[in-house]
């Protein structure tokens, strides 16, 4: 399984949005700067996230992006799927018969589909809320230590 930069940056950007928004819109430029990702690439990713209903945009002065659902309702799987990550291990786990050259499933088929299901279940069960709770403690420690931190 290989997650492309689109999936990695998409996940990081949504986590950033969730952890910094506090119900205020966040600009793509702000997230791009913090995540060290090009604004143009992030715009493409945010278009897909918006289309999937995970985020929404707010126009005007002080506008930007906010989550469209509660962090507990957005899974890592939702984000990866929205940006186009198929994360299939093998042609048969992508559910595309044309990619596998075998007319019948091979003896390893159950191994690949079982592993695929395990990964999908894991990614479905990790939510933005889980990530925020785990990493919020790290961010709070930086604040207590007096390190420069922007919200």
Per-residue pLDDT of 93-138, as tens digits, reads 776 555 566 777 788 888 888 988 899 999 999 999 999 988 875 5
pLDDT, the chain, mean = 83
Percent of the chain with pLDDT over 90: 53
Cβ contact 151:108 at 8 Å = no
Beta bridge partners of 75: 127
15-44 average pLDDT score:
89
> CA angle at residue 24 from 18 to 26, to 5 degrees?
65
Name the one residue in this structure whose structure tokens are 């933005």: 128
Beta bridge partners of 56: 66
* pLDDT surpasses 60 at 151: no
* pLDDT surpasses 90 at 54: yes
Cβ contact 113:93 at 8 Å = yes
Cβ contact 71:127 at 8 Å = yes
Sketch the domain layout of the chain as residue ranges: 5-144
User: Does domain 5-144 match CATH 1.10.10.10?
Assistant: yes
**Is the pTM here over 0.85, yes or no?**
no
Closest of 125, 130, 111, 117 to residue 71, by C-alpha: 130
> CA angle at residue 99 from 80 to 114, to 5 degrees?
60
Tokens of 147: 């390190």
Name 134's Cβ contacts closer than 8 Å, sequence gap at least 6.
none
Per-residue pLDDT of 8-25, as tens digits, reads 999 999 999 998 856 789
Name 70's Cβ contacts closer than 8 Å, sequence gap at least 6.
129
Closest of 113, 64, 82 to residue 10, by C-alpha: 82
């Amino acid at each position: 399984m290989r997650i492309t930069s689109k999936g990695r940056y998409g996940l990081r950007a949504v986590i950033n949005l969730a952890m910094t928004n506090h119900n205020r819109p966040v600009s793509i430029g702000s997230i791009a700067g913090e995540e060290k990702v090009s604004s143009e690439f992030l715009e493409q990713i945010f278009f897909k996230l918006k289309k999937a209903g995970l985020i929404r945009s707010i126009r005007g002065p002080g506008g930007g992006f906010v989550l469209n659902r509660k962090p507990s309702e957005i899974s890592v799987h939702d984000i990866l799927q929205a940006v186009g990550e198929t994360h299939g291990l093998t042609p048969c786990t992508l559910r595309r018969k044309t990619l596998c050259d075998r007319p019948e499933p091979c003896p390893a088929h159950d191994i690949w589909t079982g592993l695929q299901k395990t990964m999908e279940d894991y990614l479905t069960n990790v939510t933005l809320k889980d990530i925020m709770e785990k990493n919020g403690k790290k961010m709070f420690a930086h604040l207590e230590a007096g390190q420069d931190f922007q919200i």
